[in-house]
């Protein structure tokens, strides 16, 4: 699965200091297109790595707002983890949660 954002630089000119007006309007290939599977991983270490890739992306704010507007069900968008279309801090692992031994004692 390849994820691309076909966004022109002129569309993100609202980012303070991001680009000068003399920059061309060539399409930007965001860093997430290099390894899109990282942005849809199941494990937190991979999702954290995806968030680090987002940190320097000039499309970060636009990516997140567009994902929320589209109702993206899951993945890392704009540096945030989405689960069921909602931003979460941590993604729960697959399967049943482990029992807390302190609660049963």
Considering all CA atoms of the chain, what is the largest pairwise distance in Å, rounded to the nearest integer? Answer: 67
Residue stretches of the annotated binding site: 32, 54, 57, 63
Local structure of 103: helix, strand or coil? helix
Cβ neighbours around 63 below 10 Å, total: 24
Would you list which residues are annotated within the binding site for [4Fe-4S] cluster?
A: 32, 54, 57, 63
Both tokens assigned to 11:
């569309």
């Amino acid at each position: 699965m390849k994820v691309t954002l076909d966004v022109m630089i002129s569309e993100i000119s609202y980012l303070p200091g991001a680009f000068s007006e003399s920059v061309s309007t060539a399409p930007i290939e965001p860093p997430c297109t290099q390894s899109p599977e990282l942005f849809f991983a199941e494990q937190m270490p991979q999702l954290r790595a995806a968030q680090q890739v987002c940190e320097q992306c000039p499309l970060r704010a636009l990516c997140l707002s567009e994902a929320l507007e589209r109702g993206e069900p899951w993945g890392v968008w704009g540096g945030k983890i989405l689960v069921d279309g909602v931003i979460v801090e941590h993604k729960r692992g697959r399967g049943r949660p482990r029992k807390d031994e302190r609660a049963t004692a």
